[in-house]
Structure 1
């Protein structure tokens, strides 16, 4: 097996076009089982080769890298710290400078005539961003996403329900291409009402499902009821959940696996700005492996200082991405704002890429009287301590979109698992407030809502929302 950075993982003969029945455990065994140090050395050689041309093609990077010395040497991934970060604001400003010749803005690094697809971010954190793909970029996306699905357990012959309703978003057509590349039968059910989704999954003998964590919970609650009505046994065996953190909580995992009657639940994660899906759990179901190493390099940084951190079990930090194989709209040292916990660096499955759990977004960090807290930390605590009393998903309210600091208790909506009268709801709300204050040193004001009140989405559902102060406050049941 090659062990030097000269290994040519980009060689066309490594593109996964072989009959899927010939594949066994890995999507790309040579790449996935190589030592991570060797993979990083190879990635660095690719980055060093790509940067000069990238700066010529992208006027955004011409400007961002204009102050770098001409003789700058990049030998290891540690040397990437010599390059500036790319922020979402940089890409947004570049996009705002769109022109007739560059409809995607100043980071458009390929001629429009060579761009065959445009994808959009979800827009959950602001104005959507648009990214172009050349035909080669489409192939890279498809291969990396298929790699992710394969690691998660999807196989040829699976019938997969794709529940993202919008083809243009990063989780739309790119996900579909990945499903087909694996060799699964694509059933694009996104956009249909929930009841129809449940019925068609039974009718089509769907064996695999991709959904957000919250929508997976929503489907689990109705799965058996619809099955009893239709009289068709479930063929579902694999559920992949992404778009939202939460599967680190046993209560949420058990609710989905028990409700849908499955044994295999795998968490997945990606970033439309880079590649739509890049991380997924293997059969160990203990943290997500990185699966896009053939096209993307990753760093773990301290979000407050920007300093690089090692991929060491137990460490936390923000993930930074460099897409070194990207033609149309490249990104170098892109701050994802995804805050991750490193679960491990070795795995019984034989894959060598780091394993993580996403524990929140740096952008979502709230400060209550000087105390930092992730919304996901509040959600995880409440879901664990009040299992069976409230639903696992909740919502925290801001008074304005850019609010980070709170001098008064943070407003929070939770959804009761069963109908409650007024005294019961008030007592439960006070108990949750006391638990959050005791464990996290943060004060919240809890509104307990009737079952089925909080929105569930087949795409992303944010834990944070902006309260319209002109609206009436939620009534207590």
Structure 2
């Protein structure tokens, strides 16, 4: 029988020892950020905080929060806390502006990343010699890279398929006898439906046994549907570009929450309104600290993801805290095709076009894939060519937010938003479809 843990000593370490380790790592990363990061040094000085003030794990509450807007202001080098000669890879997180947030990774960071992802791949049941077809995106975002590194670390055969080429993806699953897939759940649904259109029953004919799904909200019902459609066991995973996700947290076979690796991250749950800590198991906003980072400092980052954190013992034997289902966000951000998109960013694009008045964003799901539509009204008195304006707006939105919308220019007044503040409306039909719903036990 193969070993059940990738690293038994760390995965089953008693909570007391884990928290002692976290306290030491917190002191070290705060001191390093103070010395090496311009942004954090100024932040802590303004707050009257010195690294020597951080002695215990509870002292993390003395540190100010940071959020997307704060880290966006550090562009391009403010969060870096190592010499540039040590950087081996640069990834990026999106912001509410057109600029990215560079995430600088050293050789040590990449080694830690591979270790986290190897731990996850082993936990969900993949073993040396298995194929992992990795259809998360490869590029500036961290989606595909982490599991590629983790697979190599664990001896699993990585197929860096990325997104798209669905027929080819189906062929590889069937012809190679792929055991595991990693992708957005919406794309997995589309892939499964496309296979059915081709007369292929992945559940009955393929070798699939494990699916890792993340990068967008997913309901328990959606995971069950994927399990039935693809003939595999569906696991939810969690990660953010700011922390070199994926690899931050993942479900074990018990599936009562996602284990968050406490030897790499500190996760807090706070009251979104007051910033005060929530009692264990109570819902709130997740706040993350990257404890063993060498290249980029991310300390007390407000994720705006709403969930719960518990240290209750898990029947799987792993002792790391569990994050329950992400029930939503508290910053109005939208998840579109695996990207986080801020309505304010779309509004900023519209402001670049004086002939544009109000607009409406419509999100829907067709065959499991997100559909992103923008309805635009001309400004009063503006004479526009609807086709030409729609094309310009589509290009501009894609440039700023990555996702490509369908844009329709409609007569002024037809949206019922003239004089509205803000001058736009968001309609998300996906929420009524059950795709983003939740259920107990996850």
TM-score, normalised relative to structure 2 = 0.73
Deviations 1:141-191 (A, max 9, x none): 111122222223322221010112423321132321112112111112114
Give the Cα separation in 2 of the matches to 1:252 and 1:69: 45
Residue pair 1:145, 1:276 contacting (<8 A) in 2 also: no
Give the Cα separation in 2 of the matches to 1:114 and 1:359: 38
Deviation at 1:88, TM superposition (A): 1.8
Deviation at 1:131, TM superposition (A): 0.8
2:326 equivalent in structure 1: 358
Q: The residue matched to 1:319 in structure 2 has which SS?
A: strand
Deviations 1:70-119 (A, max 9, x none): 48533432221101112222221111xx4xxxxxx122211211111111
1:470 to 402, 409, 414: 409
Q: Relative to 1, partners in 2 of residues 1:35 and 1:218: Cα closer, same or farther, differing over 3 Å?
A: same
Residue pair 2:251, 2:258 contacting (<8 A) in 1 also: yes
Give the Cα separation in 2 of the matches to 1:224 and 1:304: 47
Verify: 1:171 aligned to 2:143, yes or no.
yes
Give the Cα separation in 1 of the matches to 2:311 and 2:143: 27
Q: The residue matched to 2:308 in structure 1 has which SS?
A: strand
Verify: 1:303 aligned to 2:272, yes or no.
yes
Q: Mapping of 1:241-252 within 5 angstroms? A: 241-247=213-219, 249=220, 251-252=221-222
Verify: 1:86 aligned to 2:58, yes or no.
no
Residue pair 2:306, 2:329 contacting (<8 A) in 1 also: yes
1:320 equivalent in structure 2: 287
1:330 equivalent in structure 2: 297
2:251 equivalent in structure 1: 281
Residue pair 2:170, 2:191 contacting (<8 A) in 1 also: yes
Q: The residue matched to 1:357 in structure 2 has which SS?
A: coil
Give the Cα separation in 2 of the matches to 1:471 and 1:362: 31
Q: Relative to 1, partners in 2 of residues 1:221 and 1:305: Cα closer, same or farther, differing over 3 Å?
A: same
Deviation at 1:397, TM superposition (A): 11
Give the Cα separation in 1 of the matches to 2:182 and 2:137: 12
Residue pair 2:266, 2:291 contacting (<8 A) in 1 also: yes
1:271 to 228, 240, 246: 240
Give the Cα separation in 2 of the matches to 1:76 and 1:257: 43
Residue pair 1:153, 1:282 contacting (<8 A) in 2 also: no
Q: Relative to 1, partners in 2 of residues 1:216 and 1:71: Cα closer, same or farther, differing over 3 Å?
A: closer
Deviations 1:196-230 (A, max 9, x none): 11112211211100011111211221234446499
Give the Cα separation in 1 of the matches to 2:78 and 2:217: 33
Q: Relative to 1, partners in 2 of residues 1:71 and 1:327: Cα closer, same or farther, differing over 3 Å?
A: closer
Deviates further, 141-150 or 123-132: 123-132
Verify: 1:47 aligned to 2:26, yes or no.
yes
Residue pair 1:162, 1:209 contacting (<8 A) in 2 also: yes
Give the Cα separation in 1 of the matches to 2:314 and 2:91: 34
Deviation at 1:304, TM superposition (A): 1.3
Gaps of 5+ in 2: 349-359, 368-400, 416-426, 428-442
Residue pair 2:252, 2:316 contacting (<8 A) in 1 also: yes
2:88 to 96, 108, 116: 116
Verify: 1:29 aligned to 2:8, yes or no.
yes
Q: The residue matched to 1:65 in structure 2 has which SS?
A: helix
Deviation at 1:361, TM superposition (A): 2.0
Q: Relative to 1, partners in 2 of residues 1:325 and 1:162: Cα closer, same or farther, differing over 3 Å?
A: same
Deviation at 1:400, TM superposition (A): 7.5
Give the Cα separation in 1 of the matches to 2:253 and 2:272: 31
Deviation at 1:416, TM superposition (A): 7.5
Give the Cα separation in 1 of the matches to 2:20 and 2:11: 14
Q: Relative to 1, partners in 2 of residues 1:465 and 1:358: Cα closer, same or farther, differing over 3 Å?
A: farther
Residue pair 2:72, 2:95 contacting (<8 A) in 1 also: no
Q: Relative to 1, partners in 2 of residues 1:322 and 1:221: Cα closer, same or farther, differing over 3 Å?
A: same
1:63 equivalent in structure 2: 42
Give the Cα separation in 1 of the matches to 2:51 and 2:344: 49
1:203 equivalent in structure 2: 175
Deviates further, 167-176 or 122-131: 122-131
Aligned-residue CA RMSD in angstroms?
3.6
Give the Cα separation in 1 of the matches to 2:110 and 2:143: 13
Q: Mapping of 1:96-175 within 5 angstroms? A: 98=76, 105-121=77-93, 127-175=99-147
Residue pair 1:149, 1:280 contacting (<8 A) in 2 also: no
TM-score, normalised relative to structure 1 = 0.68
Q: Relative to 1, partners in 2 of residues 1:242 and 1:71: Cα closer, same or farther, differing over 3 Å?
A: closer
Residue pair 2:161, 2:169 contacting (<8 A) in 1 also: yes
Give the Cα separation in 1 of the matches to 2:344 and 2:73: 26
